[in-house]
Structure 1
Amino acid sequence: MAGEPQRGEARYGPASEESAGRRGLAPFQWLILTTLAGCGGAGFWLQAERTGAVIVVALGAGFLLVAVWRILLVMLSAAPAPPAPDPTVWPRYTVLAALYDEAEVVPLLVSRLARIDYPADRLQGLLLLEAHDHDTIRAALAAPRPPWLELFIIPPGAPQTKPRALNHALERATGELLTVYDAEDEPDPGQLRAAAARFAADDSGRLACLQAPLRIRRLGTDGADPFLDRQFAAEYAALFETALPGLARLGLPFPLGGTSNHFRTAALKAVGGWDSWNVTEDADLGFRLWSRGWRLGMIDRPTRETPPGRLEHWLPQRVRWQKGYMQTWGVHTRRPWRLGLRGAAALLLTVGAGLASAALHGPSLAWIAAATLVAATAGLSPATPFLSLSVLVMGAAAAWLACAIGARRAGVPYGVRDMLAAPAYWSLLSLAFAHAVWRLVREPFAWDKTRHRPDAPAPAAAVDGALDEAAPQRLSAAHVAAPEPVA
């Protein structure tokens, strides 16, 4: 059962009632569902037309509220937090990078981590590798590494997920602060210093995590897709440049990104680390930290990533994200009062609204197109109910505004053509949503791996003298062997 360490499992992980590993509905969720179903059924039985109208009005009002909320976040995100002064003593920092089937990009990742501008004697770095992933292990051994960056082999076990690997590494973390990077990441060299300064300036001691913005760089390989890449970059920009900074300004929780989040290690351990069974462990962790009284923030030093590329790569990644959002929604609505009123509202307006939007984008656009086509064929003007028209206009305007302003801040292209093409991209989200529902039922814990490709030449030599030429031959036996299992 989730939350109870088995042989080969890490000590860290949330309790079963806080984990996606526990399947099925909680009593409170059954109560809400049966109440809604009972009221809806009774309403349709007694006054079907009026009940249907009330549901339509309620949904329309809800989506209008979400649109206004997103515009508000754009406005609030315009005032970034001032930079914090450097601490007198730089805290020890642990850098984790979980890799699986990433032999192609290991040399690039290592060279980018080597550029981190932080006192080397205050750094601990671990490349987390699965024991059976021999190609990636060989590539990591062959890559010149800075002395502070070591390999850490994760013992076999289930589920084979990134959060499970991170939980194993958390047992060995020696830093007061800890950050996580992905295989394709290119973090700003000053990111760790910026985060450490912000943590040191936190007088409350309740700041648990700082999220760095993720920005998409152009994928210079044969896996690129101009339409998907540009829309994906704009979507990232809207999230990390407007929505999350706005939520941070309001002091509300938000779903963390899967990379470039900087933690107080003590806070991370206090909440049990990551949920190994949640395929978007980052989204879950942001709300779990909040439920325990911790707070989240943002820094402005970015990390650059590549987009997933063509549809056959984009779709599995998006399915995993949607499935993980469903898991996160399910976990935190078991006992939503743990989040408090503000935290529950943030969950509804981020995870809940994201799922609802993905579910309805495609069907709504199909309905609009069909109604317009039928009206045109019949020689009639299409019906334009005020509420429906308001939802359409406000929803599109909010999305376009967030993407346009976020793209400008992130330095990614977003013009009129991208705005006109956006509805087609939104419709693809409905395809991913439908697939995610099916996968949640059939394979809830399966991790759809996103393949990463080198988007720049692999480094042939040390970078600025920072790499350790002896590193390819050095691998501590303590890190080759699997950690001792928890009894």
Structure 2
Amino acid sequence: MAVLLKPDVPNWRARPVFAHGRLRLDETLAAIAERRSDNISGALHLQGDRRALAAPSRKGLPEELLARFSARSCLTLGYMPWARIGKTIIIALARPGDIGAIRRELPDWDGKYAFATAPPDEIRTAVAQAFSDRLAQAAETRCPAFLSCRNWRVSRRSVLALALVLISTLALAPFALLAALLVWITAMNFLTMALRAVGLRESFRRIPEEVSPGANVTTLFQHRTLPRVSLLVPLLGEDVVLRNLVSALEKTSYPHERLDVKLVIEADDRATILALAQIDLPDWMTVLPVPPSALRTKPRAMNYALDFCDGEIVGVYDAEDRPEPDQLLKVVEALHSGPPDLACVQGYLDFYNTHTNWLSRCFAIEYAVWFRVLLGGVQRLGLPIPLGGTTVFFRRALLQEVGGWDAHNVTEDADLGMRLARFGYRTEMVPTVTMEEANCHPMAWIRQRSRWLKGYAITWATHMREPGVLLRDLGVSGFLGLQVLFLGGLTSYLATPLFWLLWTATFGLDLALWQALPAPLWIAFFSSMIIGQMLMLAVAFRATSAPERRHLWPVVLTLTLYWPLGAVAAYRAVLELFTRPFYWAKTRHGL
């Protein structure tokens, strides 16, 4: 039963939760009283101190009238045009304290507005139903067009022209083409080596990972000012791991009444829907269906869910994640004590199935290298951090300011890291670990890696549309860092067959080949490849030096056999750039 408030209710001023250290009555009751509509309605009526009248059931508004309202505003402020009675439109709202702000958002109307309180969940459901198409479209175009890859188009004519140029160059000037390739590969290798060297040095200076939440969080908790945290968990065909996911999230030490977990599913994902129906979810977890679309990506789903979040902090987890219980406390402390331009914190990722097979162990080494060594070099050099797809947490207001995620980018996380940097915001690592499932099947690994490399290539091309503007936004170091981070890995993988081919030619003593190009170029090329591999091994040993990872040391020496898989994935990624740029190769979990 909703509570109708008189149309002449004065403007109420909402009190910021985090700034003043007090919880709003309606938020506390909604969380602790299990969101029972009778309790909430009554409490809200008492808070507003107005007489209650019976509210009519919603009959819906004509489309032409509904079109005047902003779906995003309805979700942000928690209201919904509920019904029309003559010249009066009834506005259902969750918090009477927001009436003033809501009035400023309402469209011009030659009649009157009246207000009724209703449970927040009921309002959100009504908004989702009434504005389904509009919200779905907004999720696909949330990222500004000039920073999105959605306009990526490659015509057949362009492909044929590029192929013709390459074939002609190969036929008419093969050694010139080879020289250009060697110069490019050598330059990228030396830049990548520099990053590895800095990361290796920084790894001996860093603070140990085992850090407990400090005094700031304890003080916040005592004064009941912990901010509300929204967690987005995109799900697609994840029926196998759902119970483990819910169990892992229930173990968090963060107060559950301050959590807002959105299990984001595709509306036509029957397997996940049936699995969720068999699980008794806690009241702070909500299942949010995303309307179907031809575009079926994780960032689109998260963009859709972002407007339904009510937390000051928004985090992302994957379906198979097992975060540390005190992780959210560490995140809150990092964001609370950080400067205003700190928009995001990223946790470390590790794997719980490293003993499965050789591939899972190699994957674990690769992640250890990235999170425990290379990212230290990235931070030390002040370069923008390509985010991971999970265990990332944002100040919600800043995430919305930069346009959320690019719904068309299959590495939306890395792209968002660059976009935050271009807007002048920073990302920092937070000392907490989330355990994941390593991809341990060769074909599944190749599909996943090709998606990552394809996304890296598209991200690079998107941000390089206007190199001068990018240089201005990131500075010289950030500009060079983007080249290394996004083209370095792709170049290394694509160059692997050439390296082995030239290495074979060394034993064949093809003197014509060696004499066609300057000796210093050959020396620089092979030095960059060999020294680069040696440095990579040193970094890998350092990354796995912790006692719990030393069992991976014997596998480090076999990484040379691991890189060819990346080469296969890289060439597949290049092919998909021209054929299926927005295709999301789904990684199955729980196998």
The answer as to whether partners of 1:251 and 1:296 remain within 8 angstroms in 2 is no
Distance 1:274 1:344 in 2: 21
- Matched with 2:115 is none
Determine the C-alpha separation between the residues in 2 that align with 1:151 and 1:195.
Answer: 24
Structure 1 gaps, min length 5: 377-382, 455-487
**SS of match in other structure, 1:179:** strand
Deviation of 1:386 after TM superposition, in Å, equals 3.3
CA distance in 1 between partners of 2:201 and 2:215 (Å)? 26
Letter in 2 for 1:341: V
Q: 8 Å contact 1:77–1:249 — kept in the other structure?
A: no
Offset of 1:250 from its aligned partner?
A: 3.3
User: What is aligned with 2:527?
Assistant: 390
Q: CA deviation at 1:125?
A: 0.6
Letter in 2 for 1:14: C
- Larger displacement relative to structure 2 (151-160 or 331-340): 331-340
Distance 1:49 1:432 in 2: 27
Change beyond 3 A, Cα 1:64–1:414: farther
* Corresponding residue number in structure 2 for 1:23: 152
Contact kept? 2:368, 2:540, Cα under 8 Å: yes
Give the direction of change, closer, same or farther, for the CA distance of 1:274–1:49 in structure 2 (3 Å limit). closer
> What is the CA distance between 1:400 and its match in structure 2?
1.1
Q: What's the TM-score once normalised by structure 1's chain length? A: 0.80
Cα separation, partners in 2 of 1:59 and 1:194, compared to 1, 3 Å: same
Q: How big is the shift at 1:252?
A: 2.1
The letter for the 2-side match of 1:212 is G
Alpha-carbon distance in 2 for matches of 1:55, 1:131: 47
Paired AA for residue 412 in structure 1: R
User: Please, what is the CA RMSD of the aligned residues?
Assistant: 2.9
Largest Rg, 1 or 2: 2
1:357-368 superposed matches below 5 A: 357-368=492-503
The one-letter code sitting in structure 1 at the alignment partner of 2:249 is L
Q: 1:126 and 1:57, CA in 2 relative to 1: closer, same or farther beyond 3 A?
A: closer
Match of 2:344 in 1: 209
Match of 1:429 in 2: 566
Q: Residue 61 and residue 274 in structure 1: after superposition, are their counterparts in 2 closer, same or farther (change >3 A)?
A: closer
Equivalent residue of 1:183, what SS?
A: coil
Q: How does 1:35-74 map to 2 (within 5 A)?
A: 56-57=182-183, 59-74=185-200
Q: What's the CA shift string for 1:136-180, capped at 9, x where partnerless?
A: 112123223332111111111231111011001100111111110
Counterpart pick for 2:246 among 94, 110, 113: 110
Could you tell me how far 1:389 is from its partner in structure 2?
A: 3.7
Q: Which of the residues 451, 456, 460 maps onto 1:325?
A: 456
SS state of the match for residue 451, structure 1?
Answer: coil
2:257 corresponding residue in structure 1: 121
CA displacement at 1:103 relative to structure 2:
0.5
Conservation of the 8 A alpha-carbon contact between 1:362 and 1:429: no
**Contact 1:252–1:296 (Cα < 8 Å) also in 2:** no
Residue in 1 that maps onto 2:39:
none
| Match 2:296 to one of 153, 156, 160 | 160
- TM-score relative to the length of structure 2: 0.67
2-structure distance, mates of 1:125, 1:339: 34
> Relative to structure 1, is the Cα distance of residues 67 and 125 closer, same or farther in structure 2, using a 3 angstrom cutoff?
same
> Of the two structures, which has the highest relative contact order with CA contacts closer than 8 Å and spacing of 6 or more?
1
Q: Deviations over 1:282-304 (max 9, x none)?
A: 01000001000110100111011
Shift of 1:372: 4.9
Which moved further from structure 2: 426-435 or 342-351? 342-351
Task: State which drifts further: 149-158 or 259-268.
Answer: 149-158
For 2:70, the equivalent position in structure 1 comes to: none
Aligned residues: 425
Note the C-alpha offset of 1:219: 5.8
Contact 2:420 2:426 in 1 (8 A): yes
Alignment of 1:2-21 (within 5 A): 8-11=136-139, 13-21=142-150
Q: CA deviation at 1:228?
A: 1.2
Deviations 1:307-343 (A, max 9, x none): 1111121111111111111111111111223333222
1:75 aligned to which of 182, 201, 206: 201
In the aligned structure 2, how far is the partner of 1:170 from the partner of 1:320? Answer: 24
Letter in structure 2 aligned against 1:447: W
Percent identity between matched residues is 34
CA drift of 1:414 comes to: 5.8
- Secondary structure at the aligned position of 2:310 is classed as coil
Checking the alignment, whether the CA contact within 8 Å between 1:111 and 1:145 is kept in structure 2 is no
Change (3 A) 1:252 1:57: closer
Q: Report the equivalent of 1:197.
A: 333
Question: Equivalent of 1:277, from 388, 408, 411?
Answer: 408
Equivalences for 1:232-243 in 2 at 5 Å?
A: 232-243=363-374
The one-letter amino acid paired with 2:258 is R
Deviations 1:360-411 (A, max 9, x none): 123313432x2355359xxxxxx99532342133211221122222122483
Structure 2 CA distance for aligned equivalents of residues 312 and 200 of structure 1: 43
Q: CA–CA distance in 1 between the matches of 2:176 and 2:460? A: 30
